[in-house]
Amino acid sequence: MTSYALWSDEIYQETTALTIGFIILVGLFLYVIRQKSPHFTAAWASVKSWFFVAPILLFVFALPSPWPLVFLVFVGIFSAKTFFQMVGIYHRSWFVWATYFFMMTLGYATYKEFDSGYNVAPMVFLGLISIIPLLRNSATHMVQYMALSLMACIFFGWSFLHMGRLLMVEGGVFLVIYLYILTEVAENVSLSTSRLIGRVKPFSKISVRVTVEGVIASIVVSLLLAWGMRHLLPDRSEQFWIAAGLTAAIFGRFGELILSVIRRDLGIKDTGVFIFGRGDLLSRTDKLIFVGPMYYYIFLLLNKVGEQ
């Protein structure tokens, strides 16, 4: 991660201009046709939020180390908070604060590149929260609280913060921006295609938003975008951008489906408003709980193979 601000970096300036320009062009197009179909109205609502969010993200990731990582840690913590509110254990403060503390510890381990400690963190966290019932001298609902706390810590701490681990590699800020743009585009292409022509719904009892047609379209568009923006990668070799495009398009849907399982089971949809636009914070981070770790380990593997 860079120890200086990226404002004067030509690649950063180019990426910022292209990203904002693309959002403006798509936004203007959807604004004109938004009333012609509910699908266009929903698409406009989604793009509209990025008029506000994209500049914030681009600003934060241009800051010197460790601020981009600090930002990711707090996004993970607020995602966990939303999760706790959604599953109804936000009032169990011992478990909630233990989760927050451990997520900050994961952030520190990421910053110090303490990889061995990071990798065993879920087991350590399970041991930590197993002590809470003993300290409270209570067994009532404790298995449920422990399971949900462990789920929150793994999803929004250990798993999500692999995006932070990607920050730590050479050129990591651009890699994270690249991967996040791919993931967002893949989601929106998948959703739009599913609404317009989606027929095959393999997970119809979990989410009608995910269709075979939508996933195929998102793979095609993600690969094209991954190739077009490959200059953001530390290594522009074919295998790196292909892996990024496939990871964003395929594994981004896994995160969305897992959170849909939880929402369906609880009988709820969104749990809050995400700044400006539609959807809660989990709707913005659920894609990355699989994309982050999958691409992190694929990236390490490809680098290792390349060195041989």
pLDDT tier, 299 (very low <50, low <70, confident <90, very high otherwise): very high
Q: Is the peptide bond before 66 cis (omega within 30 degrees of 0)?
A: yes
For residue 176, give the amino acid letter. V
Whole-angstrom Cα distance, residue 176 to residue 164? Answer: 8
- Of 169, 171, 206, 176, nearest to 291 by C-alpha is 176
Q: Select the more confidently predicted residue: 204 or 267.
A: 204
Instruction: Flag whether pLDDT at 277 surpasses 50.
Output: no
pLDDT tier, 241 (very low <50, low <70, confident <90, very high otherwise): very high
Q: What is the chain's alpha carbon radius of gyration, rounded to the nearest angstrom? A: 20
Residue 45's pLDDT is 73
The answer to whether the predicted template modeling score (pTM) of the entire model surpasses 0.85 is yes
Write down the domain spans for the chain. Answer: 10-64+169-307, 67-163
The lowest-confidence range among 68-77, 236-245, 263-272 is 263-272
CB 289 within 8 A of CB 255: yes
Please tell me what DSSP assigns to residue 65: T
Instruction: Flag whether pLDDT at 270 surpasses 70.
Output: no
The helix/strand count (H/E) of the chain reads as: 13, 0
The DSSP line for 108-148 is HHHHTT-HHHHHHHHHHHHHHHHHHHHHHT--TTHHHHHHH
Instruction: Flag whether pLDDT at 272 surpasses 50.
Output: no
Span 91-115, mean pLDDT?
Answer: 94
Instruction: Flag whether pLDDT at 84 surpasses 80.
Output: yes
Instruction: Flag whether pLDDT at 273 surpasses 70.
Output: no
- Residue 129: exposure state from Cβ atoms within 10 A (0-12, 13-18, ≥19): buried
Span 70-97, mean pLDDT?
Answer: 92
Q: What percent of the chain has pLDDT over 90?
A: 57
Whole-angstrom Cα distance, residue 109 to residue 118? Answer: 6
The lowest-confidence range among 51-55, 126-130, 222-226, 272-276 is 272-276
